[in-house]
Structure 1
């Protein structure tokens, strides 16, 4: 056995390392994880943070992304399950959660570059925040925001108007966790963000920003360098999108199309066809989708024409496949509708409602990608 292993390593190292790297950059993450066992040389190459970043950049630049997955949290057992949307959605598989997440109620609060922000409930000090790579298993705990006697931290499950988000700033190569909540005697609004690079929290000044509160959901969507939430303006109770730009460290609001200011049923932010969008059920109980063709250009909102088969008129969109098929949920089913709306594939899933996210598999970790700051556990 040892002789065979030595022979395999010698064969693997026969090619120039530069050529090996170029070949490996085009492979999916799942294959790369297996190939770490080929030789010590390959293990060193694939485990290097420089290679992880190059691989992520190649995936982002690809016209089609063969690594796109949908991840959801199970409601029956303490596990996360994953589906390759380009293959049959019937074939899903389990991903191992960090030990600190097991047998706890979890929420997926945000996702960026294959990494996720989890809210872990049931702790004595309120909700614990954890950054996690579901493919490699690397994870990092985020400390609670600093105490403020006027606006005490209550955790993401103890108050209605609390939200969180997660994103990556390319200009500083830093990951940010954003938290906002309303608290205190005078229901004060507080926004803070956590920098993984500096391992510290900072207050976001929002005195000039019209006060708004998040409605229904504390989850976020990362798009175009900003974290987005659906919100309601206190002044006139109109629905808007609140965006926190990571590079500029500022908050802004995006108005929705006038036609969908009044909702019936669930609504959510989505990215479809590379555009920021919003889906909701109209008064007839059918799904409608609006997309913003030009980011932050409110006049570019346009209704997306989609054809849905009978029985799936109220599908909750999640993403499009590379072939134009719509993937979404309907009650306790994950559904994939053909691009012409003529047929649908579905499977029953036991999922923690609302805890589903689209992500791209990556080898990135929270410390290695930004120069080794902070603890990156792999237990």
Structure 2
């Protein structure tokens, strides 16, 4: 995208601002329209456009723009900005388009370029060491964003005691904004999961790990979030005969057409509940992957604002 078309054709005096957002007279397009256009562009382009002018740098770096850009990307029904990262042989990572996984029969995986891939390259990694002691038997964890307080939290859960058939755990929660820990105690009946948490509706969820092979799988949906009685069985998926090596995992995602994407070992299957067919989404340019996660490229910088200012300077 050439930003020059946003400037008037006439020549400006040498002392006049060249910023495309300097004033309404300096810009062919209104500021609101430029902001709306930029908020729909890929992250890589926006990082380059920070060099266009000081005003564009301020705009693209502002918390309001970053949240608006992420909101548009995350809520795109066609999964235009959603990608899948595949963990292949260490240290290689590959990625592919989520939309292609749902719509195409053959998808190409691309090498994911990241700094740690080349061990001979000198790099600086910004990290924060959490020093709170970890008492008891650690069993699971989760990472969440608290939209209400604009804060990032780490949640560690430790097995504590069993009391009257209840499993009691100690939960330690770290707040990035306050740089502090707090502790709470929770008890519930049944087994404790031993996996990582998934953030849904601003709440962390855990599932029990089922290591058995399944040929048939029921898909249930909670119609009203948090209401146990609203669980509704949507359909039953009958997978192909003799599913050698098919270790069932929860559905990967659902398309806007109602199709369900499942991951089995090192492959993906797409199920259509309307006419009951199952098709394979073949990914080329890789041998095998061990993990797969959906991600969205964003401008989010999960550090304190003062750290962001120092980083920009």
TM-score scaled to structure 2, two decimals? Answer: 0.69
What residue is the counterpart of 1:83 in the other structure?
Answer: 96
Contact 2:79 2:99 in 1 (8 A): no
- Aligned mate of 1:93, from 110, 129, 132: 110
What RMSD, in angstroms, separates the aligned Cα atoms of the two structures? 4.1
Alpha carbons of structure 1 residues 338 and 35: separation in structure 2 relative to 1, 3 Å: farther
Contact 1:182 1:190 in 2 (8 A): yes
Count how many residue pairs are aligned between Structure 1 and Structure 2.
275
What residue is the counterpart of 2:170 in the other structure?
Answer: 190
Q: Higher strand fraction: Structure 1 or Structure 2?
A: 1
What residue is the counterpart of 2:152 in the other structure?
Answer: 175
Query: Counterparts in 2 of 1:267-278, with a 5 A limit?
Result: none
- Aligned mate of 1:50, from 60, 64, 70: 64
Distance in 2 between residues matched to 1:323 and 1:178, nearest whole Å:
35
What residue is the counterpart of 1:343 in the other structure?
Answer: 279
Query: Counterparts in 2 of 1:138-287, with a 5 A limit?
Result: 141-147=127-133, 151=135, 162-182=139-159, 189-203=169-183, 205-206=184-185, 209-210=187-188, 214-215=192-193, 217-231=194-208, 265=212, 281=214, 285-287=215-217
Distance in 1 between residues matched to 2:139 and 2:310, nearest whole Å:
27
Alpha carbons of structure 1 residues 64 and 222: separation in structure 2 relative to 1, 3 Å: same
Task: Using the TM superposition, give the Cα deviation of residue 30 of structure 1 relative to its aligned residue in structure 2, in angstroms.
Answer: 4.5
Contact 1:333 1:346 in 2 (8 A): yes
| 3-state secondary structure, aligned to 1:86 | helix
Rg comparison, structure with higher value:
2
Task: Using the TM superposition, give the Cα deviation of residue 40 of structure 1 relative to its aligned residue in structure 2, in angstroms.
Answer: 5.5
Contact 1:162 1:180 in 2 (8 A): yes
Task: Using the TM superposition, give the Cα deviation of residue 296 of structure 1 relative to its aligned residue in structure 2, in angstroms.
Answer: 1.6
Distance in 2 between residues matched to 1:311 and 1:35, nearest whole Å:
52
Whether 1:66 and 2:80 are equivalent positions in the alignment is yes
Unaligned runs of 5+ in 2: 9-18, 21-26, 162-166
Contact 1:180 1:191 in 2 (8 A): yes
Distance in 1 between residues matched to 2:38 and 2:223, nearest whole Å:
35
Distance in 1 between residues matched to 2:147 and 2:52, nearest whole Å:
33
Distance in 2 between residues matched to 1:139 and 1:363, nearest whole Å:
17
- Aligned mate of 1:32, from 34, 39, 46: 46
| 3-state secondary structure, aligned to 2:94 | strand
Alpha carbons of structure 1 residues 7 and 83: separation in structure 2 relative to 1, 3 Å: closer
Contact 2:49 2:56 in 1 (8 A): yes
Q: Pick which of 358-367 and 10-19 moved more.
A: 10-19
Task: Using the TM superposition, give the Cα deviation of residue 192 of structure 1 relative to its aligned residue in structure 2, in angstroms.
Answer: 0.7
- Show CA shifts across 1:3-40 (max 9, x none): xx996785793444332111122234354345445556
What residue is the counterpart of 1:331 in the other structure?
Answer: 265
Distance in 1 between residues matched to 2:196 and 2:168, nearest whole Å:
21
Task: Using the TM superposition, give the Cα deviation of residue 337 of structure 1 relative to its aligned residue in structure 2, in angstroms.
Answer: 4.4
What residue is the counterpart of 1:271 in the other structure?
Answer: none
Alpha carbons of structure 1 residues 6 and 195: separation in structure 2 relative to 1, 3 Å: closer
Distance in 1 between residues matched to 2:35 and 2:189, nearest whole Å:
50
Whether 1:23 and 2:37 are equivalent positions in the alignment is yes
Distance in 2 between residues matched to 1:86 and 1:69, nearest whole Å:
8
Alpha carbons of structure 1 residues 330 and 56: separation in structure 2 relative to 1, 3 Å: same
Task: Using the TM superposition, give the Cα deviation of residue 287 of structure 1 relative to its aligned residue in structure 2, in angstroms.
Answer: 2.8
What residue is the counterpart of 2:16 in the other structure?
Answer: none
